[in-house]
Amino acid sequence: MASTLVAPARSKRLEDPLEYLPCSRTAAYKKSEIIYTHGEATKNLYLILAGKVKITRQAEDGTQSLVDIYHTDEFFGEAALLRPATRSEEAQTVEQTRLMMWTSEEVEDAVSKRPPLAVALLQVFSQRLSDFTSRIQSLSADGTDARLARSLVHFAGRFGTVEDDGGVRMMPFTHELLAQYVGTSREIITLYMNQFRRQGYVQYSRKSMLLYRDALREWLQRN
C-alpha cells in the first residue's frame, strides 16, 4: 500500500498560460482555410486569438474523424513539441480566424524563463487528456444515440450561450460534422437528430441550434 494519505481537493486556481506567454507572430485566415495538413513536418504551437479551428484525422480509406473544434484562447498543434514533429492531423478554420504561433524552441525558451508557464501548459494538456479519456470511454461503451447526446452536451458547454428558458444557443453543426465527431454516418445522425427534435431536446435551423441540455442530460442518465 502507498505510504501517503490522499489529500483533499485544492481550491487554488489553475494557472493561465496566457499570462506568461510572450507575444509572437500572428496570422489571419479566412473561413475554411487549411492551416496544416496530414504528413507535414511542422514546428508551431498555435493559440487562437479569435475564431474557430477544427482538427480532423483521415483514415487510409478517406474517412474523416473530427478530433475537436477549438476556439478563442485555446491551443492546438501541440505535437510540434515532439521530435520528429510530423502532423497526423489536419487543422482547418471553421470561420475567420486569427492565430498566434510559437516554434517549439520558442515555447521551450519561454518555459525556461517563466516556470509558471510550464505548470500552466501541463495543466492545459492534463485537462485535454482527461477530456479525450471521457471521449474514448463514450466511444467504447455508449450506443450511437448516447454518443450523439454527449457530443451535443459537450459542444453546448464549449460554444453555447444560455437563454432565458434554459436552452443553450449555439452554432448550427452540420450533420456531416456531427457524424465525424460521433463516429457514424450522416444518415444515422439525421435519424437521431430528428428523434431528439421530436422529443423536444433540440431545435435547429440553418442559422443556429438550441439545445435543452439539462433534459438531454437526464435522458442520458435514464438510457
Q: Which of residues 7-46 bind a second copy (CB under 8 A)?
A: 7-14, 25, 27, 29, 33, 35-36, 40-44
Is residue 182 involved in binding a second copy (CB under 8 A)?
yes
Is residue 137 involved in binding a second copy (CB under 8 A)?
yes
User: How many degrees, rounded to 5, is the angle at CA 46 between CA 41 and CA 48?
Assistant: 145
CA atoms within 13 Å, Cβ hemisphere of 77: 25
Site for a second copy in 48-77 (CB under 8 A): 57, 59-60, 63, 65, 67
Cβ neighbours, 10 Å, residue 35: 22
Least distance to a second copy, CB of residue 133, Å: 5
> In this chain, which of 32, 134, 199, 208 binds a second copy, going by CB under 8 A?
134
> In this chain, which of 18, 50, 139, 162 binds a second copy, going by CB under 8 A?
139
Least distance to a second copy, CB of residue 62, Å: 10
Closest to a second copy by CB, 13 or 207: 13
> In this chain, which of 32, 72, 127, 194 binds a second copy, going by CB under 8 A?
127
Q: Would you call 98 exposed, middle or buried from its count of C-beta atoms within 10 A (0-12, 13-18, 19+)?
A: middle
Site for a second copy in 149-168 (CB under 8 A): none
Q: Which of 40, 65, 68, 36 is nearest to 52 (CA)?
A: 68
Closest to a second copy by CB, 42 or 92: 42
Which residues, in sequence order, are CB contacts of 99 under 8 Å at separation 6+? Answer: 26, 27, 28, 29, 35, 46, 47, 48, 49, 51, 53
**DSSP 8-state secondary structure symbol assigned to residue 51:** S
Integer Cα distance of 99 and 185 in angstroms: 32
Site for a second copy in 192-211 (CB under 8 A): none
Closest to a second copy by CB, 79 or 203: 79
